Structure 1
Amino acid sequence: MVIRNVIRPKGGTVQLGYGSGGRKGRMAAVLSLSLGIALGATACSGGVGGDAGGDSIKVGAVFALSGVYGAIGGEMLDGVRFAVDEVNAAGGIGGKKVDLEVKDYRSDQSLLPGLANELLQDGVVAVVGPETSTSSVVLDPTMASAKVPMITAAGLNPKGAYSFSVQPLSGYFDLAAEFAKSRGAKALCDLGVSGASFESLQKVLEPAAAKAGLPMGTRIPFDAAASSLTPQVTQLKSDGCTAIFAGGTGPSVLVVSRAMVDLGMTGAILMSQPTNATAATLAQLGAAAPFTSFGLPKVMVADLLPANDPAVPVVRPFADAWKKAGKPPLTTNNAIGYSSVRVVAQAVKDGGPTAEAIYADLKSGKDFPTPMLNYNFGAARNGTLPDRGDGWFTFARWKPDAKAWELTFTGTEPASGR
């Protein structure tokens, strides 16, 4: 992989170094093939945006590597690098290596348009990142104007015509409602960051709860920068909430969980989305770990899956390769970053090495299988929201002493634990 130091007048040099039969059957076969051999030859056609007329294919990456989003962005970038190395080690795409150029926006969203324009001027044919919905929304107009695809981790439905989300948005909300009901909860309560993020959370939680036959309970928006949420959690306790979904970021989940411990709510269950299960968050859960579960893509708990689980043939190769490389425990953010590159690589292979060809392939309505889930960005398959597929999620809690996951809910019955 080619990694560049990026010089910015305002920010200095960013040092980029390494850290540590049926539909499912077809999906497994396609993914196995794509991981096991070099990606095939591609057609070279002109198009809008950059092209791969030289010896490499330029792909940009925009992530926060410091600040409030730094933990998430750093983990996603690790997954991106791993995938790029994998593609290049297999011979590249059509014999061309992927040239990855990384920009760090330092959790300062005002820097995003300028950094993206630098990538566009360098001729990238696609951009992966950023790691949050709000940051992605900032870049939507820039990427749409340039007609260069952006493979983002936005949890919200991307507004930009050239924005495609690989955030595993759908499946775990259904499981969250089923999990709550299995624990005898009378309603599903939630807290989330105020604004568009909170409104989006309601749009996915409400139908999930209705599907499970569970009413929605108390719903409270909060400021993402809040250092204490004791009043809000006190309200949840007063209203009898025993199953709570906490949106926001990993740090905000920690604030909620600590308030629950202080208020003696350790008999309740706290749930959150997979991207919040960062290494930093897990290390700080403390007394909240036993009652906090994250909706995880099954690739994160591949070792815990029974051999007959249909996800195993798809998720195990990546999970095993990650472990063999001596990486830290796999996180959802690692898997999102990895999946972003696999999507771009397949679009280049099948469509061509130009921004225009990549965009057309992404919009073609075909499946893009990855170890996390099966993506389809065609209008007939839920627009740019990811298609969950069946059985790709589970709920699990982190065991700090063992530094390992324990399944808590598989979708049919409690697996173990709370």
Structure 2
Amino acid sequence: MASKLRLGAVLVAGSLSLAACKGGAAGGGGDTITVGMFATTSAATSAAFVNTWSVDGVQAGLKAINAAGGVNGKKITLKVCDNAGDPNRDATCARRAVQEKWVAVLGGFDPYAPSQTLPVLEAGSVPYVGFLQGTPAEYQSRVSFPVSIGTVGGYVGTFSQMVHDGCKKPVFVGANDAGSDVTYAQAKDVFGSAPGVTFNGAIKFTSGTTDVTPTVADALAQRPDCLAFGGGGNDAAKFFAAVRKAGSKATLYASPGVLQPQVIAALGKTAEGIKGASDTPMPNSSDPSMQKFLTDLKGYSAKAVPNEFSLIGYASTLLLQQGLTGLGDVTAKGLLKKLGGMSGVKVMNFPPLDFTKTRGSRQYPRMFNSSVWYGVVKNGQWTSSGSQTPTDIGQYIK
């Protein structure tokens, strides 16, 4: 579930030894190990999804690792390459990763990965560690080592949550773009396999539409008991507000990736009770690993936002740490080889990962974790919906 919020978030620059686009010796030479990440920390176009949350999560994780002595006696240096939401700049970032001998590229969200970055990283054998996967190509690449189910979990998980909740006449409203075709098919697969559920297909809308009234009318004409929305956060805010204004009592759904804190704040009371599935544990989880994440994130910056983007970034550093520990050949190829042979890998409270086995799925063979966490907006923030135990939705992964 990849949100396309057009947020002008500002990158918080801490006085850290983790340098953005600076750093020590290349790769694992000298006293440092150089890693990097691609991030949209500025916007070259109005469509750019500015995401500094992932950078904050990676910075927080590496700061904690370095403060504890680093890995194998070496500190980890981070280089952040700003792609500005421009595919050409994204490709340049990937070439830098190879040329400057980054040992790994860490978790963020890269909409241009299939066409711009993954082919370059594959050619250079650079591990793509803990990314928030958004496209099938990212679940297929030999250099990809995801921690979570990725954006697929946000949508398929939310559809499964609707079935779990007993929805009989669900309606899904999604953006009218080529990238959403996979999501429409996923909705059909989930609802079509559920007994007693009537689903008439997705209702499509154009992102950025000022007047959402016609779309809302089309959705409510089906008399839904449950209504899910997929698309940008700004569109979600307009849509849900219009649905409630029209008097609908349908239970509302959207993934946390769509309803970011700013969107929930904009919706106010309307956001209360909206449900959705997350590919990461909810920030209010009492699990010790989640509490450490929150502590380390706050220790990096009081302004850092705990959401799925920052959590995935943080989790990627923990996977990196395990891959580097005891590694003799501290190079991208050396790390790639070790990660590929690791099983029973525990990262926070995600289910254990086994990178030695692929999934029997044509589109998502390297989805090593198919669990989601069901949540609900309560008192202005996402919280666990019932149990904090994740739900495996592997049955819906085709």
TM-score normalised by L of structure 1: 0.73
Aligned length in residues: 355
Q: Distance in 2 between matches of 1:16 and 1:315?
A: 22
Compared CA separation, residues 335 and 235, structure 1 to 2 (3 A): same
**Corresponding residue SS for 1:101:** strand
**Which amino acid in structure 2 is aligned with residue 191 of structure 1?**
V
Q: Please state if 1:362 is matched with 2:343.
A: no
Please list, as runs of the form range in 1=range in 2, the aligned pairs for 1:87-166 lying within 5 A after superposition.
Answer: 87-135=65-113, 137-151=115-129, 152-157=131-136, 158=138, 159-166=140-147
Identity %: 21
Closer/same/farther in 2, CA of residues 384 and 251 from structure 1, 3 Å limit: farther
Displacement of 1:96 after TM fit?
1.0
Contact kept in structure 1, 2:175 and 2:204, CA below 8 Å: yes
Whether 2:225 is the aligned partner of 1:242: answer yes
What per-residue deviation string (whole Å, max 9, x for no partner) do you get for residues 206-225 of structure 1?
Answer: 44435653443430334444
1:233 alignment counterpart: 216
Matched position secondary structure for 2:284: helix
Match for 1:317 among 292, 312, 326?
Answer: 292
> Match for 2:317 among 341, 355, 379?
341
In the alignment, what sits opposite 1:218? 201
1:142 CA drift (Å): 1.8
Q: Which runs of 5+ in 1 are unaligned?
A: 1-13, 20-49, 304-311, 413-418
2:385 pairs with 1:395? no
Name stretches of at least 5 consecutive residues in structure 2 with no aligned partner.
1-9, 16-25, 390-398
Give 1:130 shift.
4.3
Whichever residue aligns with residue 66 of structure 1, its letter is S
Whether the aligned pair in 2 keeps the contact of 1:77 and 1:337 (CA below 8 Å) is: yes
**Take 1:204 and 1:135, find their aligned partners in 2: how far apart are those partners?**
21
Note the alpha carbon deviations across 1:174-220, whole angstroms, 9 max, x for none.
65345424655323322333445323224444444356534434303
Q: 1:153 to 1:179 in 2, by over 3 A?
A: closer
Q: For structure 1, which segment, 313-322 or 250-259, has the greater mean C-alpha deviation from structure 2 after superposition?
A: 313-322
Give me the whole-angstrom Cα distance separating, in 1, the residues matched to 2:290 and 2:194: 27
Question: What do you get for the CA RMSD once the two structures are aligned?
Answer: 3.3
Structure 1 contact 131–153 (Cα < 8 Å) conserved = yes
Structure 1: distance between partners of 2:107 and 2:88: 15
Query: 1:313 Cα shift?
Result: 4.7
Instruction: Assess, with a 3 A threshold, how the Cα gap between structure 1 residues 227 and 58 changes in structure 2: closer, same or farther.
Output: farther
Pair 1:261 & 2:258 matched: no
- Quick one: distance in 1 between partners of 2:208 and 2:355? 33
Identify the range of structure 1 (50-59 vs 331-340) with the bigger mean alpha-carbon deviation: 50-59
1:168 to 126, 133, 149: 149
User: Deviation of residue 88 (structure 1)?
Assistant: 0.7
**1 or 2, which has the higher helix percentage?**
1
The answer to whether the 8 A contact 1:293-1:395 is kept is yes
Contact 1:154 1:166 in 2 (8 A): no
SS at 1:154 equivalent: coil
Instruction: Name the structure where strand makes up a greater proportion of residues.
Output: 1
Would the alpha carbon gap of residues 315 and 362 (structure 1) be closer, same or farther in structure 2, given more than 3 Å must change? same
Aligned to 2:172: 190
Q: TM-score, normalised by structure 2?
A: 0.76
